[in-house]
A = this chain, B = another copy of it.
Amino acid sequence: MNLKKLSEILGLSQTTVSRALNGYPEVNEETRIRVQAAATKHGYRPNSRAKGLATGRSMVIGHVIPFSSQHEMVNPIFGDFVAGAARTYAQNNYDMMFTHAPDTSVEDSYRSLFNRGVVDGVVLQGPKVNEPRISALSQMGVPFIVHGRSTGADVPYDWIDVNNQRSFERATQFLIDLGHRRIALINGLEEMDFAQRRRNGYVSALKHSGIEIAPELLRSAEMTEIYGHQTACDMLDLGDPPTAILASSIISAVGVRRALENRGLKMGRDISVIAHDDELSYMRNGIDVPIFTATRSSVRHAGELAAEMLIGRINAPNDPPKTRLLEAELVVGSSTGPAPQRM
């Protein structure tokens, strides 16, 4: 069933039928009702390719999920972020296109999606420091939004981010206030912008209290459970092990917990742990009482907001750049406590 057939059935022109269905004012209300009835009756759905050709808009948003060529890691926050975004898209009649590309060719993926007219805009996730994709997209003239920010990107751009620096500064301060001095940071990949900011927050809090940075307590890698476990084991084996650990994700915090438990250490008593909690739906940080003391910020909500901002940008390409900085909550659970007294 297409426009032509439908209009023949109705004895109307394609023009009128199209207008009736798209809510144009110049069509008689009676006709409109008749057309709509026929459309539903015959299950007519405008072909979106044809529509796109005619309007020059695809009503599709592109997401390119990079994976590091070595690890083939899928970012665990991806599912929830996308779920949030998808919700907004659905409300605005956008579809969502999705590509998975090795990080070496992400830029090409964007270019391809946009130049082929597949998408009207794209979401850039997981920006690195000096992210080259940002200026590339900017030059191409693709409407885009960055989930996160990129230190060193020299063009203005839309972004939505969590205040990573402040939240890790607060978390670190919280541990310092509890008497901790040996505080470890199990961070995400060094080149990621968020990891850098978190480290800055951590460093700044320590400095502020006159605590020296201990390089052996600073690690960064992809935030898997295994990594959390391994790193915690390594650090506990140090002559002067940490009394508190900051973990950049709840997933690696789970690994940390496993390491502690293997050694019979109790979280909150023997050692304190704070995790960053993206509120992943399958790994909630407790229901009533948080499992981990955590810096909390819903990545699903970020997805919703990112989608809104991007749609806004598509509709108003010349507006000045918009940015949005979300503050993470610091929620206190039972994984933190006063620093144990050294004998």
Contacts and interface: CB of A to CB of B under 8 A. Distances in A.
Contacts of A271: none
Nearest to A254: B254
Contacts of A52: 49
Interface string A47-68: 1111011000010100101010
A96 interface: yes
Nearest to A113: B95
A73 B281 contact: yes
A95 B254 CA distance: 35
A31 interface: no
Interface residues of A, number: 60
Given A97-B96, A99-B95, A282-B251, A50 B48 contact: no
A65 B99 CA distance: 16
For the complex, would chain A's binding face be called helix, strand, loop or mixed by DSSP majority?
A: mixed
A343 interface: no
A218 to B, nearest CB: 21
Contacts of A258: 257, 291
Contact of A96 (B43, B50, B87, B99): B99
This protein's copies in its complex:
2
Nearest to A87: B100
Interface stretch (A7-15, A114-122, A143-151, A161-169): A114-122
A283 B43 CA distance: 44
Contacts of A90: 99-101
A76 B79 contact: yes
A117 B74 contact: no
Interface stretch (A191-199, A222-230, A238-246, A310-318): A222-230
Contacts of A60: 97
Interface string A27-56: 000000000000000010111111011000
10 contacts: A43-B115, A45-B115, A49-B52, A60-B97, A71-B281, A76-B283, A95-B118, A225-B283, A254-B254, A257-B261
Interface of A: 43, 45-50, 52-53, 58, 60, 63, 65, 67, 71-76, 78-80, 82-83, 86-87, 90, 95-101, 112-113, 115-118, 222-226, 251, 254, 257-258, 261, 280-284, 286-287, 291, 300
